[in-house]
Amino acid sequence: MQTTVKILKRPFTSTVIAILCGLLVAGIILSISGYDPFAAFSALIKGIFSRPKYIFKVIEKSTPIILTGISVAFAFKTGLFNIGAEGQYIMGSIAATVVGIKLNLPPVIQVPVVILSGILAGAIFGAIVGFLKAKFGIHEVITSIMFNWIAFYFCNFIVTSSEFHKPSSARTVSINESGFTMLLYKWKNTKEGINCLKQNKWLSDIVLKTDLNYGIIIAVIMAIVISFLLHRTTLGYTVRAVGLNSHAAEFAGIGVKRNIVAAMTISGAICGLAAALTITGTSPHAIYQLTMFENIGFNGLFVALIARTSPIGCIFSGLFYGGLSYGGNSLQLDLGIPSEIIGTTIGIILFFVALTGVVPMLADRLAKRGNKNAK
Q: What is the closest distance, in whole angstroms, from the C-beta atom of residue 123 to another protein in the complex?
A: 18
Tell me, by CB under 8 A, how many residues bind another protein. Answer: 20
Q: For the CB of residue 248, give the shortest distance to another protein in the complex, in Å.
A: 5
**Interface stretch with another protein, choices 33-41, 59-67, 202-210, 233-241 (CB under 8 A):** 233-241
- Picking from 32, 34, 58, the residue whose alpha carbon sits closest to that of residue 46 is 58
CA 262/CA 242 separation, integer angstroms: 11
By CB under 8 A, residue 248 contacts another protein: yes
Binding residue for another protein, selected from 31, 161, 190, 245, defined by CB under 8 A: 245
* Contact stretch for another protein (CB under 8 A) within 37-45, 201-209, 245-253, 272-280: 245-253
Closest approach, Cβ 116 to another protein, in A, equals 21
Residue 74 CA to residue 273 CA, distance in Å, equals 14
Q: b or e along 95-119 (b: 16 or more beta carbons within 10 Å of the residue's beta carbon)?
A: bbbbbbbebeeeeeebbebbbbbbb
Which among 349, 362, 372, 368 is positioned nearest to 26, based on CA atoms?
A: 349
What is the Cα–Cα distance from 347 to 298, expressed in whole angstroms?
13
Interface positions, 340-369, toward another protein (CB under 8 A): 364
The reply to whether 251 sits near another protein by the rule CB under 8 A is: yes
Please enumerate in sequence order all residues whose Cβ is within 8 A of that of 188, keeping only pairs 6 or more positions apart, or say none: 182, 194, 197, 207, 208
Question: Which residue of 235, 290, 312, 350 would you call a contact of another protein, by CB under 8 A?
Answer: 235
Residue 252 engages another protein in binding (rule: CB under 8 A): yes
For residue 37, say if its preceding peptide bond is cis, omega within 30 degrees of 0.
no
Q: Determine, following the binding rule CB under 8 A, whether residue 240 of this chain makes contact with another protein.
A: yes
Q: CA–CA separation, 232 vs 225, rounded Å? A: 10
Q: Which of 249, 263, 315, 353 binds another protein (CB under 8 A)?
A: 249
User: Binding of another protein at residue 241 (CB under 8 A)?
Assistant: yes
- Where does this chain bind another protein (CB under 8 A)? 232-235, 237-238, 240-241, 244-245, 247-255, 364
